[in-house]
Amino acid sequence: MSSNNLYDFSKLTSSIHEWLLGMMSPNWVTFTELVLIGLLFLLFFALLGLFLVYLERKVCAIMQNRVGPNRVGKFGLFQTIADLIKLLIKELIPIRKSDAFLFNLAPFIVIIASLMAMAALPFAKGLQAIDFNIGVFYIMAVSSLGVVGILLAGWASNSKYSIIGAMRSGAQIVSYELSVGLSLMAIVVFSGSMQLSTIIESQANGWWIFKGHIPAFIAFVVFLIASTAEINRGPFDLAEAESELTAGFHTEYSGIKFAFFFLAEYINMFIVAALAATIFLGGWMPFHIGSWEGFNHIMDFIPPIVWFFLKTFFIIYLIMWFKWTFPRLRIDQLLTLEWKYLLPVSLVNIVFIAFLVLMGWHF
């Protein structure tokens, strides 16, 4: 495992920390590091959002036998940047009889919730803003804060489309949170820890989706379905069903405030995909096959951060594939799927996994 140390980021981060300590008092070091990491994440946020929107449009186009954006730059690569410039210079329209304070607050709550969730994601060995010992629980908690922003947006807009969209979204997120939690709990039971770095370490000899037999696979499928619903994406996008509700909870928003909602939606997709990659697919761990020493050695030379993004974008592709294949569910079908199918399945699944772990039947 020498190459795993080759790409270890903890040396780099600790040397930066030492360097800063040599220049200022420890309190200032903490402050500077917070600002630095915040700036890095914001930059990453913006770039990732732009890229994901472009990717979504291209993937959707190819699936529908179209070309997709192809005018701005080579292959339309700068299309989303042009869109961003357009959104930035658009007028912010104040809504009459809306609750101005809540109306302006809502996009920030949504975007802060996804920014906070990002903090606990392990991008590579030693490249993690904060390694909580309850990492899984923390991500679950802060990512569900976003629904507060959505409900606020719907309420403060004083528009029927917005309020219906927000209510649907609230019902959806509150119920699907259960399945997401239970399917993550499956791997927590397997690995015996909620700390994301420990969960990744426990997958050094095989990813949980392979090690955990069929129950882990069921948990993975349930997580994919439930988290697609939680981030309000198709086929569960009835919070912003454009054919019925124009744009749902962000109907009344314009310009940069709309862009915040839009960005948060895509970042949430990234967070969910990164979480699935971390929990089920081994995070930044390279792909190894049993005793194929040569193969494993070659895989070790691909940097962990590349592995992390490969797996994450594979999950993102799956989520996009769902969106551009399946028709939208009705609200009653949506709740039936959760309460009559996903929740019982994941409940039985977790009991089964607990039994497996007790008997020591997993690898």
Partner 1 sequence: MMNFELMNSISKYFSDMFSGLLSLWAGMRVTGKYFISPRAIVTQQYPENRATLKMEERFKGEIIMPHDENNLHACTGCGICEMNCPNGSIEIITDRIPNAEGKPERVIDKHIYHLSMCTFCGLCVKTCPSDALAFGQKFEHAVFDRNNLTKVLNQPGSKIRKEIKK
Position 12, amino acid: L
Q: Pick the piece of the chain touching partner 1 (CB under 8 A) from 32-40, 63-71, 100-108, 121-129.
A: 63-71
In angstroms, the CA 172 to CA 99 distance is 24
- The continuous run of DSSP H or E covering 218 comes out as helix 213-230
Supply φ then ψ for residue 127, to 5 degrees. -110, 80
Q: Binding residues for partner 1, how many (CB under 8 A)?
A: 15
Minimum distance, C-beta of residue 104 to partner 1, in the bound complex (Å): 39
Minimum distance, C-beta of residue 339 to partner 1, in the bound complex (Å): 13
CB 294 within 8 A of CB 301: no
Q: Which is nearer to partner 1, 285 or 316 (CB)?
A: 316
Minimum distance, C-beta of residue 45 to partner 1, in the bound complex (Å): 27
In angstroms, the CA 146 to CA 29 distance is 31
70 binds partner 1, rule: CB under 8 A: yes
Q: Which is nearer to partner 1, 324 or 352 (CB)?
A: 324
Residues between 304 and 363 with contacts to partner 1, criterion CB under 8 A: 321-322, 324-326, 341, 345
Residues between 212 and 271 with contacts to partner 1, criterion CB under 8 A: none
Q: Which of 2, 25, 27, 64 binds partner 1 (CB under 8 A)?
A: 64
Tell me the per-residue interface mask from 269 to 308 with partner 1, x by CB under 8 A, - otherwise.
----------------------------------------
Minimum distance, C-beta of residue 228 to partner 1, in the bound complex (Å): 12
The CA–CA distances, whole Å, from 44 to 7, 164, 237 equal: 20, 33, 26
CB within 8 Å of 345: residues ≥ 6 apart: 218, 222
Q: Which is nearer to partner 1, 67 or 81 (CB)?
A: 67
In angstroms, the CA 348 to CA 203 distance is 24
Buried b (16+ CB within 10 A) or exposed e, 46-62: eebbbebbbbbbbbbbe
Among 235, 317, 214, residue whose Cα is nearest residue 273: 317
Supply φ then ψ for residue 226, to 5 degrees. -70, -35
- Bridge partner residues of 127 (DSSP): 124
Q: Which is nearer to partner 1, 94 or 344 (CB)?
A: 344
Minimum distance, C-beta of residue 323 to partner 1, in the bound complex (Å): 10
Q: Which of 2, 25, 27, 65 binds partner 1 (CB under 8 A)?
A: 65
Minimum distance, C-beta of residue 294 to partner 1, in the bound complex (Å): 29
Among 40, 109, 131, residue whose Cα is nearest residue 32: 40
Q: Which is nearer to partner 1, 339 or 341 (CB)?
A: 341
The site for partner 1 (CB under 8 A) is made up of 59, 62-67, 70, 321-322, 324-326, 341, 345
